[in-house]
Amino acid sequence: MNAARMPRPGRAAEMMIETTPYPRASVGDVIIEVHAAAFTPGELDWEPTYVDRAGRDRSPAIPARDVSGVVVELGFGTNPSDLRVGDRVFGMIDRYRDGAAAEYVAVEARDLALVPDGVEHTQAAALPMSGLTAWQALMVHGGLTAGQRVVIHGAGGAVGQLAVQIARNAGAEVIGTGRAHDRKLVVDCGATTFLDLAEQPLAALNGTADLVFDMIGGEILAQSTALVAPGGTLVSIAAPPATQPPAGRAVYFIVEPNRTQLIELARSLAAGEITLPAPVLYPLTDAPQAFKDKENGVPGKFVLRNENAQSRAASQPR
């Protein structure tokens, strides 16, 4: 099969499209014919992209953590009453194994959910990592409840747009931050206010946020501890916060696959409670160019489409 592979940690310029062996299903895995895959900025630098859970080198590595496709094989130990050959599924692949920038991928069945009827693979692939990250930041690590005020840094990005919508749906007051060009987008997602980080001082929000969700890091993260109200929380996915808020707590986390949360995100998407921006589409064979464009700051959620995908969803009702 064809796959995009990185020979070692580095820049996208080193990525190649290569002929690689068809994946093997380990216990509890299914094999998916990839219809669409998505990636996140920075994943080519992550150590787990190139090693297994024991730290053993598994390069050359296939990137792209998000997948949407059709189940073509059930591995030993999978429950056929759970997933079946022919199911349309999507999910986030564990970081310590090969990703979805390939024609086929082996994924743990427990990390997958059914793609809702009417949702395209190219839409579904854009949801798992961004949606799970936003959900876990707000609901799991941030403990967000209705009526609270949340500040979301980088609100116009892939994670940010979903975070704004999830927080709004939870009944929170949302202040989105970022660059001026994202103001309308962020307000349309449900933010009450937008703060242009280049023009407006963050200090105006000092001590007022029940929850701050940072995905920018650096100086913005450093300033964010002061925003947290007494009893509040700073959640970062960019870097571990260097200091704790004076009367709150600060958390850094790495997103984990979670089927229950994925099912809730799929339900919200199908119900129109959350929407995804139109993905920036590339053929799978142009994966190296897509990663290069992302490195060069081209905005949007990039989705790779496998134009050779053959499998159709099974027609039997579930």
Residues that bind ligand NAP (CB under 6 A): 40-42, 129-130, 133, 154, 156-160, 178-179, 182, 197, 215-216, 237-238, 254-255, 299
Tokens of 73: 């094989």
* Preceding peptide of 60 cis, ω within 30°: yes
Q: Which of 57, 53, 56, 63 is nearest to 98 (CA)?
A: 63
Q: CA 101, CA 285: separation in Å to the nearest integer?
A: 9
Shortest reach from residue 71's CB to ligand NAP, in Å: 25
Shortest reach from residue 308's CB to ligand NAP, in Å: 27
Residue in the shown chain whose Cβ atom is closest to ligand NAP: 157
Tokens of 67: 């997948």
**Cβ proximity to ligand NAP, 73 vs 94, nearer residue:** 94
Q: Name the pairing type of β-strands 209-214 and 149-153.
A: parallel
Shortest reach from residue 294's CB to ligand NAP, in Å: 8
**Cβ proximity to ligand NAP, 71 vs 144, nearer residue:** 144
Q: How far, CA to CA in Å, does 237 sit from each of 75, 196, 212, 230?
A: 33, 20, 11, 22
**Cβ proximity to ligand NAP, 72 vs 281, nearer residue:** 281
Shortest reach from residue 184's CB to ligand NAP, in Å: 13
Question: Are the C-beta atoms of 75 and 23 separated by less than 8 Å?
Answer: no
Shortest reach from residue 54's CB to ligand NAP, in Å: 21
Shortest reach from residue 1's CB to ligand NAP, in Å: 27
Question: Are the C-beta atoms of 197 and 179 separated by less than 8 Å?
Answer: yes
Question: Are the C-beta atoms of 155 and 194 separated by less than 8 Å?
Answer: yes
Question: Are the C-beta atoms of 80 and 74 separated by less than 8 Å?
Answer: yes
**Cβ proximity to ligand NAP, 160 vs 190, nearer residue:** 160
